[in-house]
Amino acid sequence: MKKHLLSMACAITVLSACGPKVPQLGKSSLDDVIAAMTLEEKAHLVIGTGMAGFDGGDSAVVGETHSLVPGAAGTTYPIERLGIPAVVLADGPAGLRINPKRDGDSATYYCTHFPIGTLLAATWNQDLVENVGKAIGNEVLEYGVDVLLAPALNIQRNPLCGRNFEYYSEDPLISGKIAAAYVRGVQSNGVGTSVKHFAVNNQETNRMGNDAQVSPRALREIYLKGFEIAVKESQPWTVMSSYNYLNGVYTSENAELQTTILRDEWGFAGMVMTDWFGGKDAVAQMKAGNDMLQPGYDKQYQAIVEGVKTGNLDEAILNRNVKRILEMILQTPRFKGYKFSNKPDLKTHAAITRQSATEGMVLLKNENATLPLSAQIRRVALFGCASYDYIAGGTGSGNVNRAYTASLFEGLKNAGYETDEQLKKEYEMHIAAEKIRLTPKKEKYSAFMPVILPVEKVFETSRLKDLAAQMDIAFITIGRGSGEFLDRESSNFYLSKENQQLIQDVCRVFHAAGKKVVVILNIGGAIETASWKAWPDAILCAWQGGQEGGNVTNHVDITRIHYLQIIHDKRVAVKLRLQRFGS
């Protein structure tokens, strides 16, 4: 790709020096700008600027670009002679993902880690999610990014899907309504979104080789319905095609999906881009209506140029895709010359995070009014590694480089509860030792892979009796992580023998002392509860609440927690739908 960039630079220099005045984006019509573009420029515009290790692209590692905003996922190709700037595309669903540190710069560029998508969907509150979107969009704007690669609204078809934490629900209505609210909030800042992954991207393992076989009715009523709602109710700037095959055809090469359904039926007027390295046939992608191929590599460039020259790709189709990209660029803050500050209001956004995370918690069990805590409860015995090393969200493109993550221990202290400092030290030593033991060999994609969690710590009965005598109640936090590239294993779905032993032992000892036990689930996806749910007095699903998760969970305020009684009384679910969505 470097040699093409060099030749283009030389050509631009000659044209600028000797040629007539050329059309300029924003001043001339789009048709005039496109007519002035060379075939090579068009081919460059419909692919990204590449990645290091892949034909000399500009990025240092997978998922990062260094040319404009360090840590952003990618950029578009600039054509300066026509007034076409490069615009910046960045992850992700739980908040903007860019590098917090920059070479030769002492400043920090942290972003707010908001609650995961599943938690936001559990609020059933479109106004709240739109408010979260507004805060995320402000950080996108003030850090100089143009399009946020979010939200993710694939159906949670497989409960072990590694990216379920990004996805909203197994229900298409909730997914579509929540996604639409998120998009409206983000785009109210004058920046774009990319609704993803279109479509039926429901597993991470073998995600580029998986062929999702779906009947037409199930496709329409379940897997596409959320996207349809989001497109019609929020008009996202872009849509991102998924990695997988759908009924034997790559989604990014599927004209029925990208053109017939998305544009002709739903009226989508924006741009479609691939997921990074998605699809195989660049010409087929162009024909299908997948306008931009990210991050872009030389083979795609060559295929598009050669396709036009040989007649395999009608240049009118290429022009159509170029026009859609230019229409997107015209809307961006970078094209409009916005002077971003690099200083969003992170303190205010942290408060929004706390509010949204609180409302999304789900109380799964609450015997004998265990929650909310009575005024007599002041001393809490805190068990579980995740109580001290809280899991803010998933890994990969859905992660956020944040300034801090508040643990439950810190949250309880901030709320005025007493905890056991010696117990804290025991856990810190155990967690540190486990991290050394479990740290994988550093590889190219290691930052994207799911974190291996510590083996849970168990205690002698004598130690538990001492704590039960001193403390008023016991909290046990069970943590589960997941991320890109791999689906969860069954061992992540079921509690480990150490998890089960800890819950059983703490319940046995504390109940004998007349004290109650609360289990808190710090999870991104469903886990098995049937085998152990009888032991504790209360079970609170806190999900993964972002950087303020520990400060949120300590509230355990019954007025801010949803009772999930759908299994026992489906009328509740119907009533909630009517109240929230008017449908």
Residue 314 annotated in active site: no
DSSP letter at 488 equals P
Of 388, 480, 490, nearest in space to 432 by CA: 388
If residue 497 lies in a helix (H) or strand (E), which one and from where to where? helix 497-512
The number of helix segments (H) and strand segments (E) in the chain equals 22, 15
Helix runs in 82-191, H state only: 117-122, 126-142, 172-187
The separation between the first and the last C-alpha atoms of the chain, rounded to the nearest angstrom, is 52
Catalytic residue among 58, 275, 291, 389: 275
Q: Residue 276: which of 473, 54, 494, 480 has the closest Cα?
A: 54
Distance CA 381, CA 402 (A): 28
Q: Which of 451, 546, 464 is nearest to 162 (CA)?
A: 451
User: Residue 217 pairs with which residues in a beta bridge?
Assistant: none
CB atoms within 10 A of CB 159: 14
The 3-state DSSP class for residue 475 equals: strand
DSSP conformation class of 487? P
Peptide bond into 372 cis (omega under 30): yes
Cα–Cα distance measured from residue 368 to residue 372, given in angstroms and rounded to the nearest whole number: 11
Q: What is the number of alpha carbons within 13 Å of residue 265 lying toward its C-beta?
A: 14
Q: Please name which of 432, 453, 420, 424 lies closest in space to residue 544, comparing C-alpha atoms.
A: 453
Number of CB atoms found within 10 A of residue 240's CB = 29
Strand partners, 272: 239
Q: Which residues are catalytic?
A: 275
